[in-house]
Chain A
Amino acid sequence: MNLLEKLDFSTAFRELSPILMEGLGIVLASTLCGFSLALLLGTFIALGRISKYFLLNKVLVVLLEIVRGTPLLVQLVYMYYVVPLIITLIGQLWDPSYRFTLSPFMAGVIGLGINYGCYLSEVIRSAIISVDKGQFEAALALGYTNRQAMWLIIIPQAVRIALPTFGNYIIMMIKDTSLLAFITVSELLLRTQAYASQTFLTIESYTILALAYLVLSLPLAQIVRIMEKRLKRHV
């Protein structure tokens, strides 16, 4: 029996690729929103960890340990199914008719944002620390306040140091959006599952899915490499 005769890639490709194209928008949107949130959170966590406020520092360390010690998938499920319930319960203390809901997409973006924010905070923190202390002093000597020196002088340099690593995290996040399938976001994996179970073109469908992720991440990896070279010029 010829194995290849049983495979029907052309049909699968013809039917599945438009479906995947529709899901592409969701993948890109959730990555973009998730990563922006992660950058914002990561920066504030990093600044909090660098600051001299002992209590803030300890609270953030606990948060980091919780996030890094649990799987992303569990966090996403928790964000979608549990967090709205908890907020609803608390809200009902004041208003018995209160109900809080989170769309699958929002829950996914927030979950990805918090998870990646914690990892990025360590990248940002070490980038900030690695900027020469003399830079901070030069800014202070010119009359910058601590905050101005941090935001106008140190962080732009830290960003340059961290940017290649950010690129790698973006690629990871694109791939991790496949986990959103478990909280009913109709991204690529969920669409492929639906198609494969209808047509029984299992091998073909999932192979095409894997290729689709490769097509997304390989060019990005190349862009990161070029960016890395360009940014190294003056630091």
Chain B
Amino acid sequence: MCETMIEVCNLRKSFGTNEILKGINLTVKKGEKVVIIGPSGSGKSTFLRCLNFLEIPTSGTVKIDGHYFAKPNEKLNEKHIAALRTEIGMVFQRFNLFPTMTAIENVMAAQIKIRKKSKEAARETAEKYLKKVGLSERMHYYPSQLSGGQQQRVAIARALAMEPKAMLFDEATSALDPELVGEVLNVIRELADEGMTMVLVTHEMKFAKEVADRIIFMDGGVIVEEGHPQEFFSNPKEERTKAFIKKVEH
């Protein structure tokens, strides 16, 4: 049994001549909650997207629960990448629910097509996770009939229904009206308490402090500093970190 869930080794990513990620190493243990913060343009979202190969790294490796997306210098295998992505749930800033499907159909679709579950089994799982995010009564609504917070909770249920080994949250509350942020954070907090491995990119500093086992501060495509949240916020070591914390805590 391997204790490491996500292992990133010397990851680099360039868009054209513009190098966004400049060699990142990170290990996330099973059950660990890692929060990535940093100024906009620091590469934190790109990094998160590299963790499930939505962005293909220019060099370096990503290993999920002992499996490489692609071994060093190996050709990309689309089927293998897709299969490995199934093991990692991802929640997007803009929800990205499928608009032609109701909430429950959104949660069922990939279970049936990708996990090859029967319709009945998929429905049962979908109902379980929609209940978990508190949307049992709305499961036959279309995304356009749901509020942002409700849509995001369906998106979380959709990811969870694949029973992933880890979850990635890409600024999951940034597109929400302030009064809807709480309901989504509550769901994420509950997941954290259940021991789900997760990596979050967020601007919610209070939430980061509360839920994180480890905070990672990125700037300019590198990890500037990382540490335990208490230590990190009260006693930052790097100048850039200090300046950032001062700015966000005004």
A interface residues with partner B (beta carbon < 8 Å):
132, 134-135, 137-146, 148, 152-153, 156-157, 160, 233-235
B interface residues with partner A (beta carbon < 8 Å):
52, 54, 78-79, 82-83, 85-86, 88-90, 92, 94, 96-100, 109-110, 113-114, 142-144, 155, 158-159, 162
Residues in A with CB closer than 8 Å to B110 are 139, 142-144
Tell me if A146 and B85 are in contact (CB < 8 A): no
Residues in B with CB closer than 8 Å to A141 are 52, 54, 85, 88-90, 92, 159
With both beta carbons as reference points, the residue of chain A lying nearest to B78 in the complex is identified as A145
Report how far A156 CA is from B105 CA in the complex, Å.
14
Tell me if A156 and B96 are in contact (CB < 8 A): no
Report how far A140 CA is from B158 CA in the complex, Å.
13
A sample of 12 more A-B contacts (CB under 8 A), given A141-B54, A234-B143, is A134-B92, A134-B94, A137-B54, A138-B90, A141-B89, A142-B109, A143-B85, A143-B110, A144-B82, A145-B78, A157-B100, A234-B99
Report how far A141 CA is from B162 CA in the complex, Å.
11
Report how far A194 CA is from B155 CA in the complex, Å.
64
Question: Which of B85, B96, B162 has the most A CB atoms < 10 Å from its CB?
Answer: B96
Residues in B with CB closer than 8 Å to A152 are 109, 113
Give the residue of B83, B90, B96, B100 whose beta carbon is less than 8 angstroms from that of A234.
Answer: B100
Report how far A134 CA is from B89 CA in the complex, Å.
15
User: Separation in Å of the A42 CB from the closest CB of chain B?
Assistant: 20
Tell me if A135 and B96 are in contact (CB < 8 A): yes
Report how far A135 CA is from B158 CA in the complex, Å.
13
Report how far A157 CA is from B106 CA in the complex, Å.
14
Report how far A142 CA is from B109 CA in the complex, Å.
10
Tell me if B98 and A145 are in contact (CB < 8 A): no
Residues in A with CB closer than 8 Å to B94 are 134
Tell me if A144 and B99 are in contact (CB < 8 A): no
User: Separation in Å of the A228 CB from the closest CB of chain B?
Assistant: 16
Tell me if A140 and B85 are in contact (CB < 8 A): yes
Residues in B with CB closer than 8 Å to A134 are 92, 94, 96
Question: Known interface pairs A156-B100, A157-B100. Does A142 touch B162 (Cβ–Cβ under 8 Å)?
Answer: yes
Residues in A with CB closer than 8 Å to B158 are 142
Report how far A145 CA is from B76 CA in the complex, Å.
13
User: Separation in Å of the A227 CB from the closest CB of chain B?
Assistant: 15
Give the residue of B52, B79, B83, B98 whose beta carbon is less than 8 angstroms from that of A153.
Answer: B98
Question: Which of A138, A142, A145, A234 has the most B CB atoms < 10 Å from its CB?
Answer: A142
